[in-house]
Structure formats: structure tokens, C-alpha cells
Structure 1
Amino acid sequence: MTSHPTPDRATAVAAATVFTGPAAPYAGGDPYADHRAPDPAALPFTRLPDLADRRLGGSVTAASDEFFAERENLLNPGPARFDPAAFGHRGKVMDGWETRRRRGVHPDHPHPTADEHDWALIRLGVPGLLHGLVVDTAHFRGNHPHAVRIEGTRVPGTPGPETLFAPATAWTELVPRTEVGGHAAHAFPLPGAALGRFTHLRLSQYPDGGIARLRAHGEPLADLDWLAALGTFDLVALAHGGLVEDASDRFYSPPIHTILPGRPRTMDEGWETRRRRDAGHDWLRYRLAAEGVVRAVEIDTGCYRGNAPGWAELALWNAENGTGGGGGGGLVGGGLVGGAPAEAAVAGPGEWRLALPRTRLLPDTVHRFVLPEDTPPATHARLDVFPDGGVARLRLHGSPTEAGWRRLRERQNPTGAPAS
């Protein structure tokens, strides 16, 4: 069962994709030299986390066909790779999901019918509100699909394909059947909260072909029953609904790395700033999963041995009662997605309550701090590092307040969104 978008929204979604037709054959050199993609500045939603990220637990749980290239490649972090000399027993080795060529059933009708297609089921690593999708056909120059369609659903637990394809499972059409081109990234903005919370996606390609990457950008909304069972958890973790709203620097790596699961294995899995040659310092601003009381802090400089910050301090702000002020604005178009001045996170005496005074940091170390019992509730946190350097992870362990739990329940089912 599938619900469809309004004609106006369907037209707007289709208009967001401007790349059609095959790309030119690979001519050598940089394979991305002729890759077609929208201007990132026109796609503010791409600054939100990819909720399908494999590092968060995202998975392609099933697909109709994966003869030439495995479905799991769709969610690999980073851009798709291309080796012009790599061939295997099934043909060209491609970093994406590629199906065999469909055929008709009779010599007089050698082509597939208009509605025949391949599909893949994606479980989001963290459920959430979707603000935009990206379908990238990088390196699929003459073997990309003619069109794609994307639907979403919300099903609790870890359902298998038999449950997701059951007649009782309701699917919402997010991207109507839309023509796409080869070797190009296609962006589809979505209205976020207006569509409600999603747990799974269904990607269909007509009639067959190859897709390198699928990205599902949005706000994470974790399972409330799970969070309630935990009671005390990391309030800033992406897996629990935390977000990076803004940062002073993104030169070497994105700040969202600091709230990913686990510890870093290499230096590029954290957040590192460029070397400062002025009297300033670097900072990160976070939105917590809910209003809560932070009881313990972990600052991890793992893998940063010659480039860890010298010192750090942590400040908290409560947006619910006006204690402090963070500047910034909304998620899309505000502080998180460009548009808030850098000074918004550091200016204004008294805007933030200092929770952890300036403290010495060591290289490649997990630093743990217990906060005072009278630490007030907060909705936002700011980590300042002096003067610059790399932070691998930040953990803010605590519990939501009653108001925080109430707000979480409201965000799970926004007004006007389909019921879960």
C-alpha cells in the first residue's frame, strides 16, 4: 500500500533532478572530472547526517538482483571508487549496486515492460525525519537506470522483507518515478517533519542498471522505548538523536564524526581543524537529543598524537527556558546548514553556562569528567578547544527531563504527519 505526494510536490521533486541521459565514456584521468552534480550550496540538507550511513547501522537488507555489483555498496561511506582495469568473472567491477539487463519474454517483444524494475530495501541506521535524498550514479555512464523511485515506511523492530512487502505495510512515496542520468548525483529535497518519521526505504530503478550511492539526510529520532529502557545515555550521540549544529572549522574532516558510534581507528575518523595563525580558537555546537541533565563527559582525542588541542572547556545552554543563547536559527538554512555567523557560537557574555572549566587535554586519550550534581538541564552544548586541533569523540552522558521526554514524543509524531 503506497500513498502518493501531491502533484505540486511531485513536480518540485522532479525539478530538483536536472541530469538526464548517458554520460560520455570514460576517457582517462580523473574519473570525477566530468561527474555532474548540483551546487552543494543549493542543497543545505546535505549538511544533515546521512541516516542510512553504514557506520550508524544502516543496511541494504534485500534486493531483487545484484548480479554485477553487490547491493551493500549503496551505503558505503565516501564517494564511489573507479578502477578502469578491474574486471571479474561477471564483468566490470563497480563500486555500487548493479543489476543484470532485463529482457522481454518473447522474440517479438525483446524489451521489458514499462513497469518492470529492480528494487532494494534499506534499513536506516537511525530512524528520523528526512530532509533530502541523493541518488548518485557515479561511474555508471551508459548502464545507469532510466528512472528511479523512492518510498519510505515506518515499521518497529527489525522487520524482514516478508514484513516490509506485506499488504498491511504502508509505504509513502518520497520521490516519484523520475528520469535520471549517468555519472551524476541527483538531489531530492523533502519536507522533513511534514512527512513524519521513517525507518526503511525502498529504492526502485527502472528497468535495471547501476546506482553507486544512496544518501538519506535528515534529523535522527531514535526509538523511544529503547531510550527509556536505558534511562541514562549519551545525550549528544547521533544514534540517540543528537546533532552538530555548527562548527568553527571543517577543513580536514566533518564535525559530525565526533558523535558517531565507537572510537576512531584512524585520524580521519574524528574532527580536525586547520592550524590557527591568529589569537582565536575552535569550537563545536551541538543540539542534544532532548532537554536533559548531563552528569558525565568524555572528550576523546584518540589518534590525535601531535595535533590534539591543548585545552578544552564545555558550556551548556537551555533553549526551553531561555537560559543562555546559541544563535544559529533552524536546521536547514540556519546554524547547522550554513547561515549562522561563526561568532554566534562564541559571542555574548553569560549566554552559556560553563559546565567544565578550561582543562588540559592529552594526545590520544579518553578524558572523563563527572559534572557537579547541581548542573542544570540543557538542550545544547558547546565544546571549545584551544587553540585548535583534533577531537575524535564527545560523549555527554545523562538523562532527559520530563519536558525532554515530552518533546521527544511530540517529535516522533509531528502534527500532520502520518501516524507511525
Structure 2
Amino acid sequence: MIEKIAPAFTELGEFASVSAGGSVCFATDDFFATCENMIADSEPVFLADKYTELGKWMDGWETRRKRVAGHDWCVLKLATKCVIRGFLIDTAFFTGNYAPKYSIQAACLTPTEESLIPERDTCMGSACSVNEMEAMNQLNSHKWDEIVPVTALRPGYEDTRLNYQKVLSDEAYTHIRVNIYPDGGIARLRVYGEAKPEPPLPHHMVDLLSLLSGATCQGYSDAHYGHPRNIIKPCRSQCMADGWETARKLDRPQVIEANEDGTCKLPGEEWAIFKLGFPGRIKELCVDTAHFKGNFPDSVKIEGARLSHDWTTESAVRWTTILRPSKLSAHAEHWYTCESEPATHIKVTMAPDGGISRIRAFGLVDF
């Protein structure tokens, strides 16, 4: 069966997927399925009767059967410079055509080095050209740091598809090279870690809660349909699955009544705690319920705290109100001005349950 408890590193931010800002820079071969599929946000699917003129349609990156010297590989640009803590290599539905082994290398490229990468022209049925390979050879990517040695993969059956790999390096990287030996397919690749951005300029407003600023989710009460780490991704969500959504509370009353301020009289709440990318004073908040049309929360409350350690190690966290409980609506951005005390962490509380797609917390860094 599929491993029920994922490693702790999967609670961290994810930096390779499209919604996080990851992209494919180069691939040696895209014959059966292009490398971009490997970083898609959606869960992989299998369509038994779907074929292309090249062969079986597969939801992942799949190269042709190697009939020349070498092995296949690709280079991915991560959403931002980050310390990588672990990977998930998902071989879902690649049962007789999965890559038998893989390894991963990483580098922190300068703008000059990055400019050597040829423009990517994604096309199924293609392979890289001689000129593209010569351009990539200037990067010497085969000499990048090896953060995952050659490791066997398991086939994409339901009980063996999830291949987790912990990384022990504390170096920060911008790009990774994924090697497969010698060919085959991978359905999805996820890269978990911690962003290491450059400090913003003084008096420059930044989104302190953005994944790209280094924010991380450190705890939550419920994530039945969607993990709260989704709400700090840099781009707007494309569907409900790309947000934080909880289960419906079972103790909700049979008949709903309203308070004088328009919020509903509903018991219970759900919460998530985030460490900000930089300590700061929050000036403006945006709570986005995009795609949550019949399942948005009734209201949201946001609190802040300045902590010297992780919130779980503090003996008593004193949360101060940044945004009092405020009524929400369906599929909309809700903007609020505020003036918070300096904070390192925020607590988002929704009442009683439901879904939020994104939250932005713009403010000034306060070291």
C-alpha cells in the first residue's frame, strides 16, 4: 500500500511545481511525454484508451527507449534559491516504462551562467539538438553537487509509486539536474525545502507571507482537502485543489443563525500558523477565496506574534490581533489595511471551516 505517513520534509514549501514558479530549462528527450508534465500541479492520471501518433499517452515525463550512448536528463529552475530538504519522485502509472534509477545534482547559478541555457522549445516527439547540447555542456552540469546518488526507483503501482528521498545538504541552490538511467518515465517530481531569498531593501514593501520570501507553514488543525502551505504560493490558484481546504465540522447547528455583524453563529474554527519570511510590520492583507464558491469560510481572523524560537517551543505564545474576525464571500479577493506590531509569525483562523486559496501579507521588514 502507499506509505500513509509522508516524511516530515513534505510539510515544507515546494519549489519545483508550476504554481510555485518552477520551470523546465532543458531535457535531452521529450518523445512520449514532455518534461513539463513532471512539474504539473495536478495529480497524475491514467487514460487507458488515449494514444498519440507516437505511442501511449502518459501523464509525466517519458523519454524514448535509448538506442544511442548515454542516458537522459533534464535541468529544472526552482521557484527561488532554496535549501533542499527532500524530494518526492512519483512514478504513478509508469509500470513497465518507469525509469529504473535516478540521481539528482544541484547548483546555484549566476545570471551569467543561467544565460547560457538555450531557449526551451517544448515539443512531444523531439530530442535536444546538437547545438542545444553544446550550449548546456558549457554549464558542466555533470559536475554539479550530487545531492541524491544513483538510486533505484519503484514502479508506478498504487503501493510503490511514491519514492521519497531526504537531502542532508545545507547549501542553497537555484537549479537541479535530474538524471534517469538510462531512459523511461517519471510522473511527478516535488522539491521540498526552505527559501533563502536576499533581504529586501529598506522601506520596500514585500509579501512577508510569500513562499518566495521564505515563509513556511509550521502547524495547522486540519488539511482534509488541501494543505495550508498552498496559500503562500506566489501565483493565484487555478483550482480548489491548490488551496487550503478543511473538512466540514460535524458539530455545526441544524439551523444557522447570524450575529449582528453579519457573521454566522457557528461553533468551532480551524487554524494554521506560519513563520514569516522576514520579521516585519504588516500593512496590508489580502485573503483570496478564488474557486471556493460554495465552501468558503464564514469569516477569517489573523493574529501575529514576535517569537525568538519556533512557536511549538514557546511556553506561552501571546497572539495580538492584526485582523479581527471578518466576513468572507465566495470566489473573491478581500483586502484589508492594518498596522501590526513587529511579527515573526502569524496565525490564520477560519470559522468554522472551508477553503482559502491565497493570503498575502504586505509589510516592511523589521529586523
TM-score over 0.5 for the pair: yes
> Is 1:174 the equivalent of 2:162?
no
> Tell me, what secondary structure is at the counterpart of 1:228?
coil
C-alpha distance in 2 between matches for 1:238 and 1:137: 26
> Is 1:233 the equivalent of 2:206?
yes
Aligned pair in 2 of structure 1 residues 303, 118: CA closer, same or farther (>3 Å)?
A: closer
Equivalent residue for 1:161?
Answer: 117
C-alpha distance in 2 between matches for 1:140 and 1:300: 36
Aligned residues: 329
Equivalent residue for 1:369?
Answer: 336
Q: 1:214 pairs with 167, 170, 189, which one?
A: 189
Q: Is the 8 A contact 1:326 1:351 kept in 2?
A: no
C-alpha distance in 2 between matches for 1:80 and 1:63: 20
Report the CA distance between 1:365 and its aligned residue: 3.1
Report the CA distance between 1:316 and its aligned residue: 0.5
C-alpha distance in 2 between matches for 1:249 and 1:140: 32
Aligned pair in 2 of structure 1 residues 355, 244: CA closer, same or farther (>3 Å)?
A: same
Report the CA distance between 1:271 and its aligned residue: 1.9
Report the CA distance between 1:129 and its aligned residue: 1.0
C-alpha distance in 2 between matches for 1:203 and 1:174: 11
Report the CA distance between 1:119 and its aligned residue: 0.8
C-alpha distance in 2 between matches for 1:62 and 1:257: 27
Q: Percent of pairs identical after alignment?
A: 31
Deviation readout 1:221-241 (Å, 9 max, x if unpaired): 23x17x439921110011222
Q: Is the 8 A contact 1:135 1:185 kept in 2?
A: yes
Equivalent residue for 1:298?
Answer: 286
C-alpha distance in 2 between matches for 1:242 and 1:42: 21
Deviation readout 1:254-311 (Å, 9 max, x if unpaired): 2122112333444333322222234321112111001111111112223333333222
Equivalent residue for 1:379?
Answer: 344
> Tell me, what secondary structure is at the counterpart of 1:274?
coil
C-alpha distance in 1 between matches for 2:154 and 2:302: 47
AA aligned to 2:282 is V
Q: TM-score, normalised on structure 2?
A: 0.82
AA aligned to 1:60 is V
Equivalent residue for 2:301?
Answer: 313
Higher strand share: 2
Equivalent residue for 1:59?
Answer: 23
Q: Is the 8 A contact 1:311 1:386 kept in 2?
A: yes
> Is 1:201 the equivalent of 2:166?
no
> Tell me, what secondary structure is at the counterpart of 2:201?
helix
Deviation readout 1:9-28 (Å, 9 max, x if unpaired): xxxxxxxxxxxxxxxxxxxx
Q: Is the 8 A contact 1:136 1:211 kept in 2?
A: yes
Q: Is the 8 A contact 1:255 1:284 kept in 2?
A: yes
Q: Is the 8 A contact 2:232 2:360 kept in 1?
A: yes
C-alpha distance in 2 between matches for 1:91 and 1:202: 26
Q: Is the 8 A contact 1:118 1:204 kept in 2?
A: yes
Report the CA distance between 1:155 and its aligned residue: 0.8
C-alpha distance in 2 between matches for 1:137 and 1:265: 24
Q: Is the 8 A contact 2:289 2:333 kept in 1?
A: yes
Deviation readout 1:29-64 (Å, 9 max, x if unpaired): xxxxxxx65x24251212222210111221111111
C-alpha distance in 2 between matches for 1:240 and 1:354: 23
Structure 1 runs (4+) greater than 6 angstroms displaced: none
Aligned pair in 2 of structure 1 residues 328, 59: CA closer, same or farther (>3 Å)?
A: farther
Q: Is the 8 A contact 1:52 1:126 kept in 2?
A: no
> Tell me, what secondary structure is at the counterpart of 2:13?
coil
> Is 1:253 the equivalent of 2:222?
no
Aligned pair in 2 of structure 1 residues 390, 180: CA closer, same or farther (>3 Å)?
A: closer
Equivalent residue for 1:357?
Answer: 324
Deviation readout 1:202-230 (Å, 9 max, x if unpaired): 011111111222111111223x17x4399
Higher helix share: 1
Q: 1:286 pairs with 264, 274, 277, which one?
A: 274
C-alpha distance in 1 between matches for 2:287 and 2:312: 24
Q: TM-score, normalised on structure 1?
A: 0.72
> Is 1:185 the equivalent of 2:162?
yes
Aligned pair in 2 of structure 1 residues 86, 378: CA closer, same or farther (>3 Å)?
A: same
Gaps of at least 5 residues in structure 1 are 1-35, 105-111, 330-343, 404-420
